[in-house]
């Protein structure tokens, strides 16, 4: 590659990064701007930062319980999906049985199902059994897509473990269940960790199920933010503050699982 | 034989069904159940807004209404198709170009990729709010600069103008998901064997011939995969657009998912709403089957 | 027309020095073999010649023209890769046609040319197949056909036989030799297999650590190795080399002593090929007594691993003496005209 092309390439990359990151930087700046700076006619890039929005929205407006709700929901969904899904993934990776790939396709359709179509009947059914506006309802709803994510992702991770390991463990005297718990799970631990993080992120970020299924007490953070946007005078500093709290931990999490992200987001079809 | 041994042997035999049953059970209860209920509901007149509409059987009336008497549904369908087709093609072209650019930037690749992940990993709600903030009519940062360079009239705003608004929400989607396309295609590029490319170079191919004759055909399964995945996801789009425009102004950005939401949870017309939801589900299922065929074709091609 | 490496060095991004001032010159029409152990730089040399790698310093010349900075497509060279690198998404016909297609030959001419080269390699019946449906040997032929179809001046081959099974390798070797004779194209052939090198090459370049050790015919390399490395690398089993001193016309190393009248005194490395040592039944003048450690039958020969004090040695002889047992004495004669003497420091041949 000639020098000119190389420079053009670097320039293009810088442009891409600026476009990709500016909105988020702007959001962050808004969260630490005074009201006056935020509503200024011309965009203000230099200002005296203030942290006033954070306590105002989380304490005075009681958004802190929403963070707690989101944590409980995402955490429970992750554990539930892993406990139920990981053994299933192992069966898909190792066992042969009639209709296996068809069943696997069923798992895929559940991951791909449009939330709006699932939530309509779910809302009514949960209403009949008295689950609406409870964290349980969101947890169950989120388990649907995360369970199949676990099965899809973990099947690949188990298939990466050579079959000889299973055979060696059985020769060493393990039962099948013992082999799974003591040999395969530890070997798949990095994959499980990555899957767990991805589950957590997907549940934490989810909006539509939570929007329909909970109203007051059990609102998650994503449902809470739009509530701050009103037709007359939105307090953008507070909106930004909540949005930053809702996203910054996720960004850090993302960096942790970057290596496995492609596999997770393509259902194991591309090994990143 | 001790009891423990007996139990162990029994467990060994049952490990497959025992391990698989909980996940199948959970999905059947949580997805198949509601699915069947939704289909059943679509044949009724259930409504929370109208008196007397408490789930009487209507036969195919709701479907007749959908096909013959509901132009808004079909307009929404058209909007959705425009949205899907527009964002997927833009994301594909930009993402592919960016992946190729990064493929040749060996040293800076990791750093750039790490930062590129940010847009796609943010909660879509946050993405929506962030861009609403940027595009605000009075003090939005982007609005201000666009007006300053004369690309936008002083009274128009990107989210308020009915001719611009669909393109705007599409642009936001492109901003959010192009990195995903890049990430997947780059992973594909990095997984390709080097030899066919060197062979083509030795055979005298020029860079663009190598691209057309080797890169694209060898990458085709991955390209198909990423287009399908994005297509399905774009078809289901709700969060961002809901936050950015709520479907408006008018119903210029009312995607199918938003329309379905409105019928069900604003009009409380649940029988007809179930019909709409079922339609959306059907389209996604079809796309899903294509996706599955595509990736299984791929594994047959490369493995074994 | 000559092809020349002029003081070519190649340092990879990770700091590996793959070529260290390589100088090599040969004529068109030759069958040049680049031979060396792994890491010797033979593949890098081939790839630098091809233009797939850029030399860090030095020049590559063809017919006096500096081609160091030319892209591969302008070098009139083709290449056969170790794993064949067939285009999985194209039929065999389209694989072979590809070099012509990118050169924009008319379709009819491409077809007739592909058929011609397919006939030459006896693969006409495979033209409609996909690479996936080919056996290793068939894929190999297709790769060769693709490399020869446009009649390049030089055809480079990077270990093209190493993925074939033993029998096929022998057949293909003969085939390549025949092709070279018929076409007169210059072949540059990379291998780590000395037998392949010795049978194929009109001349063999032995490489070590990115440098040229010797460039000569197989006969010369076998009988007059330029240094200790080449001597030990060529031949199976390897040449025996013994570190010792020459004093008063006798070579000594521990208990081992061999009269070598007329040789200059000093430290030296004595070399002799296992097959050149003569085994005698009885001790006589000019024989040295060794003790047999392990006999190894390699029909029709036998390898005798023996020691004289701390000096180990291998003898290769006809398998007539299978009665020999561990511990038996061996009386060995070392014919003077078969002895090689190397410098202990530089390893260079002393004449």
Q: Cβ of B34 under 8 Å from any chain C Cβ? A: no
Task: Specify whether the CB–CB gap between B45 and B24 falls below 8 A.
Answer: no
Residue C99 has its nearest CB partner, among B203, B206, B220, at B203
Q: Cβ of B194 under 8 Å from any chain A Cβ? A: no
Measured CA to CA, the distance from residue C130 to residue A204 in angstroms comes to 48
Residues C178-186 have a mean pLDDT of 91
**ipTM of model over 0.85:** yes
Using DSSP's 3-state secondary structure scheme, residue B44 falls into: strand
Residues of chain B found within 8 Å of residue A88, distances taken between Cβ atoms: 19-20, 22-24
- pLDDT band, very low/low/confident/very high, at C331 (cuts 50, 70, 90): very high
pLDDT at B299: 47
Task: Specify whether the CB–CB gap between C278 and C332 falls below 8 A.
Answer: yes
Q: Cβ of A13 under 8 Å from any chain B Cβ? A: yes
Chain A window 44-83: which residues touch B at a Cβ cutoff of 8 Å? none
For B77-137, the DSSP string reads HHHHHHHHHHHHHHHHHHHHHHHHHHHT-TTTHHHHHHHHHHHHHS-HHHHHHHHHHHH-T
Give the neighbours of chain C: at least 3 Cβ pairs within 8 Å.
B
Residue B206 has its nearest CB partner, among C73, C81, C86, at C73
Residues A13-41 have a mean pLDDT of 90
B213 with C98: Cβ contact below 8 A: yes
Mutate to test the interface with B, among A116, A158, A208, A256 (most CBs of B within 10 A): A116
B118 with A24: Cβ contact below 8 A: yes
Residues B5-20 have a mean pLDDT of 82
Using DSSP's 3-state secondary structure scheme, residue A161 falls into: coil
pLDDT of B300 above 60: no
pLDDT at B297: 53
Strands C31-35 and C186-191, by their bridges, are: parallel
> What is the residue whose two structure tokens read 């690398």?
C233
Instruction: Indicate the Cα dihedral angle B26, B31, B37, B42, nearest 10°.
Output: 180
Q: Cβ of A95 under 8 Å from any chain B Cβ? A: yes
Q: Do chains C and A touch (3 or more CB pairs under 8 A)?
A: no
Q: Cβ of B292 under 8 Å from any chain A Cβ? A: yes
Residue A116 has its nearest CB partner, among B116, B229, B277, at B277
Tokens representing B164? 């611009």
Mutate to test the interface with B, among C12, C13, C51, C99 (most CBs of B within 10 A): C99
- pLDDT band, very low/low/confident/very high, at A256 (cuts 50, 70, 90): confident
Measured CA to CA, the distance from residue A60 to residue A138 in angstroms comes to 26
What percent of chain B clears pLDDT 90, i.e. is strictly above it? 55
B195 with C72: Cβ contact below 8 A: no
| Residue C300, C-beta contacts closer than 8 angstroms, at least 6 positions apart | C318, C319
Q: Cβ of B195 under 8 Å from any chain C Cβ? A: yes
B38 with A117: Cβ contact below 8 A: yes
Mutate to test the interface with B, among A21, A239, A269, A272 (most CBs of B within 10 A): A269
B8 with A222: Cβ contact below 8 A: no
B187 with A90: Cβ contact below 8 A: no
Measured CA to CA, the distance from residue C138 to residue C128 in angstroms comes to 13
pLDDT of A98 above 90: no
Closest CA to B54 of B265, B269, B275: B269
Residue B123 has its nearest CB partner, among A110, A205, A262, at A205
What is the number of CB-based contacts under 8 A between chain B and chain C?
Answer: 60
pLDDT of C148 above 80: yes
Residues C223-230 have a mean pLDDT of 93
B203 with C98: Cβ contact below 8 A: yes
Using DSSP's 3-state secondary structure scheme, residue A180 falls into: helix
pLDDT at A195: 92
Quick one: closest CA in B to A271, which residue? B187
Using DSSP's 3-state secondary structure scheme, residue A21 falls into: helix
Chain B window 54-93: which residues touch A at a Cβ cutoff of 8 Å? none
pLDDT at B1: 62
pLDDT at B296: 62
Q: Which residues sit opposite C2 in a β-bridge? A: C27
Q: What is the pLDDT of residues B196-239, one digit of tens each?
A: 999 999 999 999 999 999 999 999 888 988 998 899 999 999 99
Residues of chain C found within 8 Å of residue B199, distances taken between Cβ atoms: 79, 81, 85-87, 146
Mutate to test the interface with A, among B24, B129, B223 (most CBs of A within 10 A): B129
Task: Specify whether the CB–CB gap between B170 and B159 falls below 8 A.
Answer: no
Q: Cβ of B303 under 8 Å from any chain C Cβ? A: no
Task: Specify whether the CB–CB gap between C304 and C317 falls below 8 A.
Answer: yes
Give the neighbours of chain A: at least 3 Cβ pairs within 8 Å.
B
A118 with B34: Cβ contact below 8 A: yes
Task: Specify whether the CB–CB gap between A222 and A207 falls below 8 A.
Answer: yes
Residues of chain B found within 8 Å of residue C72, distances taken between Cβ atoms: 201-202, 204
How many angstroms separate the CA of residue C210 from the nearest CA in chain B? 22
Q: Which residues of C74-99 are buried (b: 16+ CB within 10 A; e: fewer)?
A: ebebbbbbbbbbbbebbbbbbbbbbb
B30 with A144: Cβ contact below 8 A: yes
How many angstroms separate the CA of residue C258 from the nearest CA in chain B? 54
Quick one: closest CA in C to B300, which residue? C132
Mutate to test the interface with B, among A1, A87, A109, A117 (most CBs of B within 10 A): A117
Residues of chain B found within 8 Å of residue A265, distances taken between Cβ atoms: 180, 183-184, 229
Q: Which residues of B32-52 are buried (b: 16+ CB within 10 A; e: fewer)?
A: eebbebbeebbbbbbbeeeee
Residues A27-50 have a mean pLDDT of 85
Quick one: closest CA in A to B29, which residue? A144
Task: Specify whether the CB–CB gap between C243 and C271 falls below 8 A.
Answer: no
Q: Which residues of A113-127 are buried (b: 16+ CB within 10 A; e: fewer)?
A: bbbbbbbbbbbbbbe
For B176-202, the DSSP string reads HHHHHHHHHHHHHHHHS-SHHHHHHHH
Indicate the range of A14-28, A30-44, C192-206 predicted with least confidence. Answer: A30-44
Q: What is the pLDDT of residues C106-143, one digit of tens each?
A: 999 999 999 999 999 999 999 999 999 999 999 999 99
pLDDT at A104: 86
Helix and strand numbers (H, E) in chain B are 14, 0
SS (HEC) of chain C: CEEEEEEEEEECCCCCEEEEEEEEEEECCCEEEEECCCCCCHHHHHHHHHCCCCCCEEEEEECCEECCCCCHHHCCEEEECCCCCCCCCCCHHHHHHHHHHHCCCCHHHHHHHHHHHHHHCCCHHHCCCCHHHCCHHHHHHHHHHHHHCCCCCEEEEECCCCCCCHHHHHHHHHHHHHHHHHHCCEEEEEECCHHHHHHHCCEEEEEECCEEEEEECHHHHHHCCCEHHHHHHCCCCCCEEEEEEEECCEEEECCEEEECCCCCCEEEEEEECHHHCEEECCCCCCEEEEEEEEEEEECCEEEEEEEECCEEEEEEEECCCCCCCCCCEEEEECCHHHCEEECCCCCEEEC
Residues A32-39 have a mean pLDDT of 84
Closest CA to A117 of B221, B277, C45, C176: B277
Q: What is the pLDDT of residues B236-291, one digit of tens each?
A: 999 999 999 988 788 899 999 999 999 999 999 999 999 999 999 999 988 888 87
Q: What is the pLDDT of residues A181-234, one digit of tens each?
A: 888 999 999 899 989 999 999 999 999 999 999 877 788 999 988 888 877 777
Residue A222 has its nearest CB partner, among B98, B123, B133, at B123
pLDDT of B304 above 60: no
Closest CA to B167 of B60, B262, B241: B241
Task: Specify whether the CB–CB gap between C245 and C252 falls below 8 A.
Answer: yes
Residues of chain A found within 8 Å of residue B227, distances taken between Cβ atoms: none
Q: Cβ of B299 under 8 Å from any chain C Cβ? A: no
Tokens representing C215? 């460039």
How many CB atoms sit inside 10 A of residue A96's CB?
6
Task: Specify whether the CB–CB gap between C249 and C263 falls below 8 A.
Answer: yes
Residue A269 has its nearest CB partner, among B119, B225, B281, at B225
> What is the residue whose two structure tokens read 């909980």?
B22
Q: What are the CA-CA distances from residue C1 to residues A56, A228, C112 (Å)? A: 84, 81, 29
pLDDT at B295: 66
How many angstroms separate the CA of residue B169 from the nearest CA in chain C? 39
- pLDDT band, very low/low/confident/very high, at B301 (cuts 50, 70, 90): very low
Average of per-residue pLDDT values in chain A: 88
């Amino acid at each position: 590659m000639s020098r000119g092309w190389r420079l053009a390439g670097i320039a293009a990359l810088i442009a891409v990064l600026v476009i990709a990151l500016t909105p988020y930087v702007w959001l962050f700046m808004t969260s630490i701007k005074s009201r006056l700076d935020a509503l200024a006619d011309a965009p203000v890039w230099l200002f005296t930062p203030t942290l006033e929005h954070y306590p105002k929205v989380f304490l005075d407006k009681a958004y802190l319980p929403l963070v707690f709700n989101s944590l409980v929901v995402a955490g429970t969904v992750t554990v539930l999906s892993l406990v139920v899904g990981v053994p299933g993934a192992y069966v898909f990776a190792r066992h042969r049985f009639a209709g296996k790939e068809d069943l696997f396709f069923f798992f895929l359709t559940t991951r791909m199902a449009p939330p709006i179509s699932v939530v309509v009947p779910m809302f009514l059914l949960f209403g009949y059994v008295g689950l609406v506006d409870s964290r349980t309802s969101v947890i169950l709803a989120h388990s649907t897509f995360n369970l199949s994510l676990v099965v899809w992702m973990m099947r690949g991770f188990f298939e990466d473990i050579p079959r000889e390991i299973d055979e060696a463990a059985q020769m060493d005297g393990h039962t099948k269940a013992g082999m799974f718990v003591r040999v395969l799970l530890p070997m798949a631990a990095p994959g499980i960790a990555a899957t767990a993080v991805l589950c957590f992120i997907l549940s934490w970020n989810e909006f539509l199920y939570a929007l329909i299924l909970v109203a007051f007490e059990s609102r998650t953070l994503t449902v809470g933010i739009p509530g701050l946007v009103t037709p007359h005078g939105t307090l953008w500093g507070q909106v930004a503050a909540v949005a930053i709290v809702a996203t910054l931990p996720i960004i850090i999490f993302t960096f942790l699982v970057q290596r496995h992200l492609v596999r997770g987001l393509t259902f194991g079809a591309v090994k990143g | 034989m001790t009891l423990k041994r007996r139990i162990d042997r029994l467990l060994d035999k049952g490990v497959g069904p025992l391990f698989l049953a909980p996940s199948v059970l959970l999905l059947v209860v949580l997805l198949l159940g509601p699915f069947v209920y939704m289909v059943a509901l679509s044949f009724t007149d259930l409504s929370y807004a109208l008196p007397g509409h408490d789930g009487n059987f209507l036969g195919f009336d709701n479907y007749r209404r959908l096909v013959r008497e509901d132009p808004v549904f079909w307009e929404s369908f058209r909007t959705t198709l425009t949205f899907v087709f527009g964002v997927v093609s833009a994301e594909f072209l930009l993402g592919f170009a960016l992946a190729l650019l990064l493929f040749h930037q060996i040293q800076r690749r990791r750093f750039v990729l790490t930062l590129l992940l940010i847009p796609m990993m943010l909660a879509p709600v946050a993405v929506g709010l962030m861009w609403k903030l940027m595009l605000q009519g009075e003090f939005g940062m982007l609005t201000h600069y666009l007006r300053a360079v004369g690309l936008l009239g002083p009274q128009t705003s990107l989210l308020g103008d009915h001719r611009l608004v669909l393109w705007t929400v599409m642009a936001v989607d492109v901003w959010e998901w192009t990195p995903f396309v890049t990430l997947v295609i780059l992973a594909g590029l990095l997984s390709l064997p080097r030899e066919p490319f060197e062979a083509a170079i030795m055979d005298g191919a020029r860079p663009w011939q190598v691209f057309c004759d080797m890169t694209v055909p060898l990458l085709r399964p991955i390209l198909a995969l990423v287009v399908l995945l994005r297509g399905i996801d774009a078809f289901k789009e709700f969060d961002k657009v809901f936050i950015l425009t709520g479907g408006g102004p008018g119903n210029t950005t009312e995607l199918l998912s938003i329309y379905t939401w409105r019928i069900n949870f604003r009009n409380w017309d649940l029988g007809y709403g179930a019909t709409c939801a079922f339609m959306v589900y059907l389209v996604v299922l079809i796309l899903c089957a294509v996706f599955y065929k595509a990736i299984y074709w791929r594994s047959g091609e490369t493995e074994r | 027309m000559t092809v020349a490496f002029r003081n070519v060095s190649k340092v990879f991004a990770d700091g590996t020095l793959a070529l260290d001032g390589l100088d090599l010159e040969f004529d068109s029409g030759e069958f040049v073999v680049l031979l060396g152990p792994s890491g010797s730089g033979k593949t890098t040399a081939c790839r630098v010649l091809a233009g797939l790698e850029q030399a860090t310093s030095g020049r590559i010349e063809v017919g006096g023209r500096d081609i160091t900075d030319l892209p591969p497509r302008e070098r009139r060279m083709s290449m056969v890769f170790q794993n064949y690198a067939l285009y999985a998404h194209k039929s065999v016909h389209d694989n072979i046609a590809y070099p012509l297609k990118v050169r924009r030959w008319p379709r009819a001419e491409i077809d007739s040319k592909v058929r011609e080269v397919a006939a030459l390699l006896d693969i006409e019946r495979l033209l409609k197949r996909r690479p996936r449906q080919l056996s290793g040997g068939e894929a190999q032929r297709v790769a060769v056909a693709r490399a020869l179809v446009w009649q390049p001046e030089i055809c480079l081959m990077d270990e093209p036989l190493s993925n074939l099974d033993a029998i096929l390798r022998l057949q293909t070797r003969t085939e390549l030799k025949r092709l070279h004779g018929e076409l007169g194209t210059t072949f540059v052939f990379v291998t780590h297999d000395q037998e392949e090198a010795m049978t194929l090459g009109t001349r063999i370049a032995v490489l070590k650590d990115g440098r040229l050790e010797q460039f000569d015919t197989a006969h010369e390399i076998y009988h007059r190795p330029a240094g200790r490395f080449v001597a030990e690398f060529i031949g199976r089993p390897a040449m025996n080399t013994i570190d010792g001193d020459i004093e008063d016309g006798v070579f000594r190393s521990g208990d081992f002593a061999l009269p070598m009248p007329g040789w200059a005194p000093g430290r030296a490395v004595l070399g002799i090929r296992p097959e050149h040592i003569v085994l005698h039944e009885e001790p006589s003048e000019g024989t040295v007594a060794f003790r047999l450690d392990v006999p190894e039958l390699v029909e029709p020969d036998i390898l005798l691993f023996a020691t004289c004090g701390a000096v180990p040695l291998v003898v290769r002889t006809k398998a007539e003496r299978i009665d020999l047992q561990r511990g038996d004495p061996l009386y060995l004669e070392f014919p003077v005209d078969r002895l090689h003497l190397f410098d202990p420091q530089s390893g260079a041949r002393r004449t």
